[in-house]
Amino acid sequence: MREFLSIVLASNNHGKLSELRALLSDLPLHVLSVREALGTTLEVVEDGATFEDNAILKARAVCQATQLLALADDSGLEVDALGGRPGVRSARFAGEHATDAENNAALLRELENVPETERQARFRCVLALLSPFGGAPRLVTGACEGNIARTPRGAGGFGYDPLFLVEGQAGRAMAELTDAEKNQVSHRGKAVRALRPLLIQVVNQMLDEAESVLG
């Protein structure tokens, strides 16, 4: 990757934006939110059946609207005792426009009678990278295993972080980890690390395309 190039993060979630900015901060990229790129937000109907479907929907919409390199995240919580729910409906588990607290409360109600030995879960993240010069979306995934606590813990993170006890972290919830610790073990951190070689390849291809057009 040879010089600065703009990339738009296809998310309106401030927590995701903050994490992605931190994870991409060492790369020579000008990282923009959709609002920074367009001057307004862009609502995308996330009606896909999978994280992959929704990530592609968001990346394509933002890439077309901005004509810039777009990176979309779709992620959520999969609880084994609930058959993989809330999954793609993680942000809407307690209903449309539900708050994090409402979603956490709904999850605890559903798991009230589930014993500790059966509360396994994972955070899963899919990232979709799309170039305005065309081509298929590049997809990568990341997962973080853990268990669901009976009460919220910690003050960090967002979403289900206060209930998610991270495997290998001495019983600490994701919300009890520092930002640096979370980025090392989280589903999003793992996905970004998997994305890096693809991102570097796409950016260099875009720069080559631009140079050939400019002569």
- Termini Cα distance of the chain: 20
**What residue has token string 């040879």?**
2
**What residue has token string 């600490």?**
172
Q: Which of 74, 80, 100, 179 is labelled catalytic?
A: 74
* Cα 1 to the center of its chain, rounded Å: 23
73 flagged as catalytic: no
Q: Kind of pairing, strands 5-9 and 29-33?
A: parallel
What is the spatial distance between Cα 124 and Cα 187, in angstroms, rounded to a whole number?
6
The dihedral over CA atoms of 78, 89, 91, 182, expressed in degrees to the nearest 10, equals: 20
Q: Which residues are catalytic?
A: 74
